[in-house]
Amino acid sequence: MQYRTLGRTGVQVSSLALGAMNFGKIGRTTQDDVTAIVDAALESGINLIDTADVYSGGESEEMVGKAIAGRRDDIVLATKAGLPMDDERNHRGSSRRWLVTELDNSLRRLGADHVDLYQIHRWDPNTSDEETLSALTDLQRAGKIRHFGSSTFPAYRLVQAQWAAREHHLSRYVTEQPSYSILQRGIEADVLPVTEEYGLGVLAWSPLASGWLSGAIREGREITTSRSAFMPQRFDTTIPANRTKLEAVEQLAKVADEAGLTMIQLALGFVTAHPGVTSALIGPRTLDHLHSQLAAADTVLSADVLDAVDAIVAPGTDLAAQEKNNTPPALLDPALRRR
């Protein structure tokens, strides 16, 4: 396992980090499954576990808490808040009111007195940067969080938040968690240059592109990944963008074969090769999934392989633009771009 410094925090984290989104009802995993996955991940050298309040309605945090009981101090523990927890209008977002309440809820579920990294799950256009950063700074000073970061923020919001922290003499975001894979490289054009400029650690989620780069999705095969059940539009090969992804996967498979790599090694090795990326978040649902992904822990791609990837998916390109998660609201809601 390789280790990198998380931004400028001085904290050393593994180049592969364990994402817990599949823990609980989302991934149909039991507590025994989760504990076995966590045990194997820690034994392999992974030392960062990332979850969120919204994953399986809090069940993921509860399962992580039980799995790490008695060894909390050896783990860099990260969670997130901001996405809706239920239908109550104030049980979401990044207001002081919600963050103070929900952090206590997360700590209770995790069985911990603090988290090492608390992340705002999405930019909240209804809450000012000063409001959010002042709440996070106070929670940090209270010892409930060590550091805080953002997740899936547009590049311009990352810059704005850094300015607001300096302007109001508040602590700042020290990490960003964006979606990044061979098939979705758009952040290379804007987000990663900003994170490098400000020294932010980067935890890349979905490095296997929701299973497209797992090796299981190939031309002529039935798509059976668990994600296809609740995100069918992302796997419908009659959609042009998905056909483009499938064509790219076929070419990437040849590159992997010629390099003596699995598709997973190619995909994870690509993400961790970028100098702006600290860790790639893997989200196994089973022990077999975990072991196949751990095989990429020490994968270092040659320049020839990276050049071959660039020739298939150009740098800074998203093959499925509709899957971007940081699109400014005004591009999605016509009312926001009309007087």
CATH at residue 157: 3.20.20.100
Count of the separate structural domains present in the chain: 1
* Rounded (5°) CA angle 71-277-113: 25
Looking at the chain, the number of H-run helices and the number of E-run strands are: 12, 10
- In this prediction, residue 30 carries a pLDDT of 96
The pLDDT of residue 234 is 76
Strand partners, 117: 78, 147
Helix (H) / strand (E) element for 129: namely: helix 129-141
Residue 227 has what pLDDT?
A: 59
Any idea which residues carry the catalytic annotation?
55
In terms of C-beta density within 10 A (0-12 exposed, 13-18 middle, 19 or more buried), how is residue 281 classed?
buried
**DSSP conformational letter for 53:** T
What pLDDT is stored for residue 316 in this prediction? 95
Residues of the chain with pLDDT under 70: 220, 222-231
Residue range of the domain that includes 328: 3-337
Which pLDDT does position 98 carry in this prediction? 98
Neighbours of 6 (CB within 10 A): 26
**pLDDT at position 226, please?**
60
Q: Cβ distance 115 to 122 under 8 Å?
A: no
